Amino acid sequence: MCGRPDATGRARDSGRRCRGGNRGGTGGGQPRHHPGLDHCRTGRTCHPHRCPARGVDLPNHTARRRTAAGSGRLNQLAEIAPAEGRLGVLLAGLGAVSTTFIAGVESVRRGLSVPHGSLTQMNTIRLGMRTENRTPLINDFVPLARLDDLVFGAWDPYPDDAMRSAETCGVLTSEDVRRVADFMKTIKPMSAVFDSDHVKKLDGKNVKKGGSKRDLAEQLRADIRRFREDNKCDRLVMIWAASTEVFLPAGDPAHATVEAFEAAMAADDPAIAPSMLYAWAAIREGVPFANGAPNLTCDIPALTDLAVQAGVPIAGKDFKTGQTLMKTILAPGLKARMLGVKGWFSTNILGNRDGEVLDDPGSFRTKEESKLGALEYILQPDLYPELYGDMYHKVRINYYPPRGDNKEGWDNIDLFGWMGYPMQIKIDFLCRDSILAAPIVLDLALFLDLASRAEMSGIQEWLSFYFKAPQTAEGLYPEHDLFIQHWKLKNTLRWLMGEEQITHLGVEYYD
């Protein structure tokens, strides 16, 4: 199957083996219309930074897609439900990433900032031939939830509201926090399912107590139902934006089937991590789930099977933000030019809570596994042994408190070209971890909601663009090349809306 075309419209290199009041958490009330936002002929919210119509005929948002109910195969026409009403975004974790995401969305809603980094808000999509000049914004092409309709809730082992947490994390300036402080104060975290055996560097007190892991998971389900009712939400999505848990090996019997998993929850099996309880609770409540950390979570047979059975979309894992983002941009270019790589050394310094958690060897091993995989799948040393067969790849993460959320990723690449002559590339990426992650959270929330309304269940591989370790079907290797991932995402949107997929063949222009 490896050589068959996918949503990119092209086949992978054959021969590679497949492998394995308010919008806060407490109140009610109606969605607001914020200053700086107007409504145009499309019926969608117009932001000052963009012109949504762009002079093209926009599609009717009563979209059609192909699906065979319950099978995961897409082949028969049906309608995508409209994005009407309020969409609740439930966040496991109310730390740096979540508070930066929430503050940013509210700032955009008030006309105070622009949603930089978000494909759903700023990226266009080409439709049809180049000569047709049809390039609407994604947000105007597919029926996505409006930012004005988002409602936020969260769980966290620390009791601080979103404003206090944002101040503690120090990602945003005091002025940026102050401008949305009234809103941020309303978002107070629900008590979390937390186990210090799985995250050893943290010790919060805002945690649930229960007789078993099954009991704790049922408490999460009750939280979901209560949040939905209290905030009058029509739909929900859940995103794990909490700390990296310690490494758990795949293949545990407790993860094999839904029945085994639920029995293991009742028996307090150590193979069941807190993040898995959130995923299970979300799926059981019909809520799409994405895993933004490298933990083993919904990428186990029990939960992937349950997601298909329940008709719930899932995606993961590990937000692709800094160093791995650079690797998945640069490595495809080196491979395209058939330039060899002898070694790739990567190190990071990071001072936020994520860095503190990763200072524990167990949590670092989880992250290391996620970060090491991308180059092997992009460069394919099995197919190109002369170029990449002896490549040495090393990854390190160092906790350095003075740096805070402003992560620095340093890479040294030893490569070679014609006649084996050596060259080097140095990368010093001084990035902001949560600033890069926040728009990913937004896009995943909106795209998972779209997938749910399109009745797409189980693993959503088309969202691989956002992850370091993309989740795929069993036995299918993941695509890590950022450009293939981007192509796959956009072709999936075209396909959902009944537009032709783009192959970039181009011969039709020269007939």
- What would the DSSP string read from start to end of 455-470? T--EE-GGGGGGBSS-
CA 376 distance to own-chain centroid: 21
Enumerate residues 6+ apart whose C-beta is below 8 A from 42: 52, 53, 58, 140
**Nearest residue to 450 via CA among 503, 496, 487, 398:** 496
* pLDDT for the residue numbered 202: 81
* pLDDT for the residue numbered 356: 67
Tell me if 130 sits within 8 A of 502, measured CB to CB: no
DSSP string, 7-63: TTSSBPPTTPPP----SSSS---PPP--TT-EE-TTSSEEPTT--SSTTSPPPPSS-
Question: Mean pLDDT, to the nearest integer, of 250-258?
Answer: 96
* pLDDT for the residue numbered 268: 96
Tell me if 139 sits within 8 A of 54, measured CB to CB: no
Question: Mean pLDDT, to the nearest integer, of 502-510?
Answer: 92
Instruction: Name the helix (H) or strand (E) containing 83.
Output: none
Q: pLDDT band at 434, cuts 50/70/90?
A: very high
Question: Which contacts of 35-43 are long-range, i.e. CB under 8 A and separated by 24 or more positions?
Answer: 35/110, 35/111, 36/110, 36/111, 36/112, 37/109, 37/111, 37/148, 42/140
Treating both helix axes as pointing N-terminal to C-terminal, what angle do 301-310 and 274-284 enclose, rounded to 10 degrees? 20
pLDDT of 461 higher than 60: yes
Q: pLDDT band at 42, cuts 50/70/90?
A: very low
> Residues 416-433: pLDDT tens digits?
999 999 999 999 999 999
> Within 10 A of 313 (CB to CB), how many other CB atoms are there?
27
% of the chain beyond a pLDDT of 70? 81
* pLDDT for the residue numbered 252: 96
End-to-end, the C-alpha distance of the chain in Å comes to 32
- Residue type present at position 6: D
Q: pLDDT band at 196, cuts 50/70/90?
A: confident
Distances (CA, A) of 387 to 38, 186, 478: 54, 55, 21
* pLDDT for the residue numbered 368: 67
* pLDDT for the residue numbered 218: 99
Please give the residue that has the higher pLDDT: either 397 or 458. Answer: 458
Strand-pairing partners, residue 459, are 314
The full set of domains in the chain, from first to last, is 82-320+434-472 (3.40.50.720), 323-430 (3.30.360.10)
- Could you give the count of Cα atoms lying within 13 Å of 310 in the half-sphere of its Cβ? 23
Question: Mean pLDDT, to the nearest integer, of 172-180?
Answer: 98
pLDDT of 4 higher than 80: no
pLDDT of 20 higher than 60: no
Distances (CA, A) of 96 to 61, 92, 113, 296, 354: 35, 12, 19, 22, 9
